[in-house]
Amino acid sequence: MTRETIGHVKCPICGDMAEVRRDKRGKLYYLGAAGMIKPNLPSGQAWLESAMIPMENHRQDITDDEDDNAIGRLASAFWG
């Protein structure tokens, strides 16, 4: 079952805007171009919670350039 996206975070690995979700035990994780990343230590969970942009604020914080770059990266990943 797909979990609800509660926010977005800029992935420190790939630089894309990844979706942040909670697992069934309440731990935060994010999904992006690098795959599913789940910081399991308290400091990683704290970082993810502080770096996350909640869904209600997300559209205000992302510029059109960032959207275009993400689309370009996805297209090149699929079509080379």
pLDDT digits (tens, 9 = 90+) for 6-59: 999 999 999 999 999 999 999 999 999 999 999 999 999 999 999 999 988 755
| pTM score | 0.68
Q: Which structural domain range is residue 73 located in? A: 5-79
**Domains in the chain, number:** 1
The amino acid at 55: M
Q: Which two tokens stand for residue 67?
A: 């959207």
Q: Any residues with CB less than 8 A from the CB of 43 and at least 6 apart, and which?
A: none
State the Cα–Cα distance between residues 67 and 39, nearest whole angstrom: 25
Q: Any residues with CB less than 8 A from the CB of 40 and at least 6 apart, and which?
A: 27
